[in-house]
Amino acid sequence: MVELFILKGKMAGKRFYASQFPFLVGRDPKAHLVIEEDGLWHKHFLIEKGPNKSFYLRTLDDATVIIDSEFKNEAELKNGDIIEIGELKIRFSLSPTHLKYVQIREILLWICIILLVLIEGLLMFRHAI
């Protein structure tokens, strides 16, 4: 999942998450992320999934963006990249993964280990008598 954090603009401080790609950003009401900001086109750019779990930004029509101080029409996005369009600044980042199911599995594993140790201890005690 990808996080887009608005650093500067009318929606500054808001976080948006993208989990389906391509992800459209623009003024268009059908965009995945609708932002009303000067300089932003109706369909300004897409974030697309690339090979090897990478992400790419591609502008639409003749739109441009600034990524890390360089004008771009296409670019591979890296964690922490700043996307600028006029006064709008968006930080691209990979959102943290949630380890909910891993924690549950770890708890169940420890319960099984404790039960095995208790059963083995009871069997050894029983044979000692």
Neighbouring CB atoms inside 10 A of 120's CB total 10
Q: Do 32 and 66 fall within a single domain?
A: yes
Q: Do 45 and 103 fall within a single domain?
A: no
What is the number of residues in the chain?
129
- Residues of the chain below pLDDT 70: 96-101
pLDDT at site 97: 59
Domain coverage including residue 103: 98-129
Neighbouring CB atoms inside 10 A of 16's CB total 17
CA quadruple 26, 89, 5, 61: dihedral sign: positive
Q: Do 13 and 76 fall within a single domain?
A: yes
Question: Pairing mode, if any, of strands 23-26 and 15-18?
Answer: unpaired
Q: Do 35 and 12 fall within a single domain?
A: yes
Domain count, the chain: 2
pLDDT at site 98: 59
pLDDT at site 1: 85
pTM score: 0.72
Q: Do 87 and 111 fall within a single domain?
A: no
